[in-house]
Amino acid sequence: MLTDQEREEIEAELRRYPDKRAGCVEAMKVVQRHHGWVSDDSLKSLALLLGMTCEELEGVATFYNLIFRKPVGRHVILLCDSISCWIKGCDALRGHVTSRLGIAMGQTSADGRFTLLPIVCLGACDHAPVMMIDDDLHGDLTTEQIDHIVERYP
Amino acid sequence: MERPLTQRIRPQADPMNLAEYEDTGGYEAARKAVQTMAPQDVQRLVTDSTLRGRGGAGFATGLKWSFVPMGLDAPRPKYLVANADEMEPGTFKDRLLLEGDPHQMVESMVVSAYAIQAEVGYIFLRSEYKRAARLLHKAIAEARSHGYLGRNLFGSDFSFDLHLHTSAGRYICGEETALLNSLEGKRAIPRSKPPYPQTAGLWGKPTVVQNVETLYNVPHIVRHGVEWYRGLGHGHEGGTKLYGVSGNVKRPGTWELPMGTTMRTILEEYAGGMCEGFSFRGLLPGGASTAFVTEEHLDLPMDFESLPRAGSRMGTGTMIVLDDRTCPVGFVRNLEHFFAQESCGWCTPCWEGLSWTERILEGLEEGRGRPEDLDLLTMHTRLIGPGRTFCALAPGAMDPLQSALKHFRADFERHIHERRCPWREQGATIGARR
Ligand SMILES: Cc1cc2nc3c(=O)[nH]c(=O)nc-3n(C[C@H](O)[C@H](O)[C@H](O)COP(=O)(O)O)c2cc1C
Ligand code: SF4
Ligand code: FES
């Protein structure tokens, strides 16, 4: 079920394309902004709205790394594991973050606060190693800094 | 030194709004093109400027535009798409332009769309560039409310509207035909060519896909002319280029410099040379899909014509430096992991071959390497070479591997003989350092 608010936002996105299907990624991102992820229920309503079959929409959803088909935590941490960050020690940072949060990559903490995911190069290689939490980019990371930064996301 | 592309970028400050942008000559190129030039004249300027694509392949921009059907019976609408997907590992240049001067993105689209008579434009932006998205939305809205986007621009009969599309994270979307499928709301698998997008692209209509940096050059060429533009470069490739350096150098960063600046100048003068305690071993000149060059090549100009002499390509122009405390095998393993993960799965040599090479490299790193592994790796660099797959992802993935086997072969062999990664124990690849 989509709320009126979601419907309104989706309609605004769809106006930019000559056909509805083209707006499917943006539409799923609207749902994600409100719920954090795209549930089976939302997917069904979206498919109906966009004139696609559920299978078609599911095929698009699973293609992309940042459309979540499972619930995620209140905050999503994306740790860059591409080359410049690797040179700058992202393996050690990953070790630190996973042990500090007590979760492996791909998991959500038991309190529902964080989901930890790997991400490809964030285009900020001059500040490697780099991560994103929600919409914020954090660069030039050290283990101590990560501890402080994480505290800012309750 | 003139830096047209980045001249308005103020570090640590918000980018110029429309009024400020106009005060510094902004939208003059758009006005000039639309009011005083024929579309073909704009195309001719771009052709004469010898501008080549900055997205990696270096295709001549004017030539690309010349394939677009023109005139009254051309199919409509035509589309112009800015490729702002920037996901090539080690590449961080388009972000600077988009966040630093979003109005220039809008103006570049207007001028380029006029040249090919496109009615609709999309900026295809990667999902993670949240700040760029916010700033572009604002710039587009400002331009639209001033009549610089929409109907009858600058009192002419040319109409053009521009939309921002934000993606959802997948490297293959940067490949131009995969990008078109993605924009149409399909899985982002590349299309087989021909037909080329210039004749049958978005929804089957003529479409030009162009890298962000490429487009940013166009208003300057229109405003100041070909002679001025060509004079900006050092060699016979004109203009400026955004160059970047990452890795264990003193000052990683991006700089707009004359096209053809040597790799050594960029590395030593701009990036400040290697960090204390690290020495240079090699670099990938332009992102993960380019081949290693070594010390002996550093005096070559960074341009499209010179890098092939070192067996490589300029690619995106953002270098990734390999130092002596970083394992070359681990370096390549990291890259092949990326390419294997991002393969769209359409061509068997790509999705099977890339994960196989990743497994072999993983074995070498973990002390399970066998002498025949190097032959297997070499075999893959041939099997997955150019012409065997639908897109350039797979051959691009083989460039760093093939060149690493050539330049750092002894290091691969050491992994096999010592049955371990010689760099591991020194702690060289772990721990953030600056
Ligand atoms: C796997 C793959 C990913 C690509 N990613 C990008 C990208 O993120 N940005 C880009 O401008 N070009 C990218 N390209 C190149 C585009 O296909 C295309 O050549 C380019 O956008 C054309 O613009 P240009 O001529 O201005 O460089 C990619 C190519 C491949 C094969
Ligand atoms: S080369 Fe790889 S990424 Fe490109 S179309 Fe084939 S399978 Fe897809
Ligand atoms: S490699 Fe991590 S930001 Fe580019």
Peptide bond into B422 cis (omega under 30): no
Name the A residues in 64-83 with CB < 8 Å from any B CB. Answer: 64-67, 78, 81-83
- A92 near B CB under 8 A: yes
In single-letter form, the type of residue at position B86 comes to E
pLDDT value at residue B11: 86
- What is the rounded CA–CA span in Å between residue A76 and residue B33? 45
Which of the 8 DSSP states describes residue B428?
T
Residue with token string 């639309």? B34
Beta bridge pairs of residue B242: B256
Cβ distance of A63 and B187 shorter than 8 Å: yes
Q: Is the pLDDT of residue B432 over 50?
A: no
* Averaged pLDDT for residues B424-429: 56
Distances (CA, A) of A115 to A91, A132, A151: 18, 12, 15
When pLDDT is cut at 50, 70 and 90, the band that residue B385 belongs to is: confident
DSSP string, A127-146: G-S-EEETTEEE-S--HHHH
User: Angle A24-35/A40-50 helices, nearest 10 degrees?
Assistant: 150
pLDDT digits (tens, 9 = 90+) for A50-101: 999 999 999 999 999 999 999 999 999 999 999 999 999 999 999 999 999 9
The verdict on the CB of residue A82 being under 6 Å from ligand 3 is: yes
pLDDT digits (tens, 9 = 90+) for B207-223: 999 999 999 999 999 99
Q: Is the pLDDT of residue B430 over 50?
A: no
Peptide bond into B77 cis (omega under 30): yes
Task: State CA A50 to chain mean position distance.
Answer: 22
Ligand 1 atom 28: residue of nearest CA: B175
CB neighbours of residue B119 within 10 Å: 15
When pLDDT is cut at 50, 70 and 90, the band that residue B426 belongs to is: low
- The H helix count followed by the E strand count for chain B is 15, 8
Quick check: A153 and A114 in contact, CB under 8 A? yes
Q: Is the pLDDT of residue B427 over 50?
A: no
Q: Quick one: what percent of chain B has pLDDT higher than 90?
A: 95
pLDDT digits (tens, 9 = 90+) for B29-84: 999 999 999 999 999 999 999 999 999 999 999 999 999 999 999 999 999 999 99
Q: Is the pLDDT of residue A7 over 90?
A: yes
Q: Is the pLDDT of residue B431 over 70?
A: no
Q: Is the pTM of this model over 0.90?
A: yes
pLDDT value at residue A125: 98
pLDDT value at residue B428: 44
Please identify, by atom number, the ligand 3 atom nearest to the C-alpha of residue A83.
1
Cβ distance of B432 and A143 shorter than 8 Å: yes
Dihedral over alpha carbons B340, B344, B348, B350 (to 10 degrees): -40
pLDDT value at residue B235: 86
- What is the rounded CA–CA span in Å between residue B302 and residue B264? 9
ipTM of the complex: 0.97
CB neighbours of residue A33 within 10 Å: 10
pLDDT digits (tens, 9 = 90+) for B324-341: 999 999 999 999 999 999
Q: How far from each other are the two terminal CA atoms of chain B, in whole angstroms?
A: 30
Burial class (CB in 10 A: 0-12, 13-18, 19+), A111: exposed
pLDDT digits (tens, 9 = 90+) for B97-156: 999 999 999 999 999 999 999 999 999 999 999 999 999 999 999 999 999 999 999 999
Tokens coding A151: 């505290």
B218 alpha carbon, closest ligand: 1
pLDDT digits (tens, 9 = 90+) for B223-233: 999 999 999 99
pLDDT value at residue A1: 82
The verdict on the CB of residue B398 being under 6 Å from ligand 2 is: no
Name the B residues in 408-427 with CB < 8 Å from any A CB. Answer: none
pLDDT value at residue B379: 95
Tokens coding B28: 């003059």
Look over chain A and give the mean of its residue pLDDT values, rounded to a whole number.
96
Q: Is the pLDDT of residue B296 over 80?
A: yes
pLDDT value at residue B425: 66
- What is the rounded CA–CA span in Å between residue B187 and residue B60? 29
- Partners of B184 on chain A (C-beta within 8 Å) are 19, 21-22
The verdict on the CB of residue A128 being under 6 Å from ligand 3 is: yes
